[in-house]
Amino acid sequence: MRPVISTSELADLLDSEHPPTVLDVRWRLGGPSGRESYREAHVPGAVFLDVDADLASEPGPRGRHPLPDPETLQRTLRAAGVSEARPVIAYDDADGSVAARAWWLLRWSGHGRVAVLDGGFAAWRSEGRPVSRVEPRPAPGDVVVRPGALPVLDADGAEKLARHGVLLDARAPQRYTGETEPVDPRPGHVPGAVNAPFAAHVDEDGRWRSPEELARHFATLGVRVGTPVGAYCGSGVTACSVVLALELAGLSGPERPAALYAGSWSNWVADPARPAATGPEPG
């Protein structure tokens, strides 16, 4: 299954005999909660999952959004109706940078039929497609979480990849350079990391750029087929969209998947001994 699906494809699937499980994962750094938006309107049949409560563990030294405990994640996904045999479509407000967290977790768990809605809820609603305020009660799913289907980096692994491969920093340029840091205690980036803002993956309307455009974009950052590559961001949420974009571009796949530094910058700076580079260069 392609990692990105169009609104028309989702509409056809919802009208089919075996519709997919749809997950609404709208979330914004600093709020307000996406649950409020979900209650106002959502794709019919969609189940809301909260990034903070459902798709991460408690914040701490491992980062602000550590990977969830596998057993807890399995219970959450089953309660949302996620099953082994049914495809899963996740969406957020628009650009897929948050929905990619659900995509990545399901892929990491071993579920192979997962996609992100191109353009998110904004595209769905702008096209006049049906929305609902009804919160469904899905039949329990049977998904089995088998962690490890996608590679995960710790701080040492991220440091090595920055030296011997390409480590992509998905944050905005101002956070990468250290000009500003609104959330974490120290500014800057992992020495050797290359800035790859997640906003570069989509057009102005929040729809994903073509595989060819993405491949050219990553080539300018030093990523080509066969390049060892990984990604991080502030806490491991939007970096998932870099992993997705690399797959969409044909630069990552089953034989050599891109890695995620799950703890990301919030884990890196938890150890005051780890260095922080500043400025526009990798350092």
Question: What are the pLDDT tens digits along the chain (283 aa)?
Answer: 999 999 999 999 999 999 999 999 999 988 888 999 999 999 999 999 999 999 999 999 999 999 999 999 999 999 999 999 999 999 999 999 999 999 999 999 999 999 999 999 999 999 999 999 999 999 999 999 999 999 999 999 999 999 999 999 999 999 999 999 999 999 999 999 999 999 999 999 999 999 999 999 999 999 999 999 999 999 999 999 999 999 999 999 888 899 999 999 999 999 999 999 999 999 8
Separation of alpha carbons 279 and 195, rounded Å? 11
Task: Name, in order, each residue with C-beta under 8 angstroms of 105's C-beta and a sequence gap of 6 or more.
Answer: 55, 67, 68, 73, 240
Contact yes or no for 25/103 (Cβ under 8 A): no
Tell me how crowded residue 61 is: count the other CB atoms within 10 A of its CB.
10
Exactly one of 22, 51, 116, 233 is catalytic; which is it?
A: 233
Going from the N-terminus, what domains does the chain have, and what CATH number goes with each? 4-126 (3.40.250.10), 152-268 (3.40.250.10)
Instruction: Provide the pLDDT for residue 253.
Output: 83
Active site residue 240: no
Tell me how crowded residue 157 is: count the other CB atoms within 10 A of its CB.
15
Separation of alpha carbons 63 and 252, rounded Å? 25
Instruction: Provide the pLDDT for residue 254.
Output: 81
Contact yes or no for 45/14 (Cβ under 8 A): yes
Peptide bond into 32 cis (omega under 30): yes
Contact yes or no for 243/252 (Cβ under 8 A): yes
> What number of CA atoms fall less than 13 Å from residue 37's CA on the CB side?
19
Instruction: Provide the pLDDT for residue 136.
Output: 96
Tell me how crowded residue 154 is: count the other CB atoms within 10 A of its CB.
12
Separation of alpha carbons 86 and 141, rounded Å? 9
Residue 239, phi-psi category: left (phi > 0), alpha (psi -120 to 50), beta (remainder): alpha
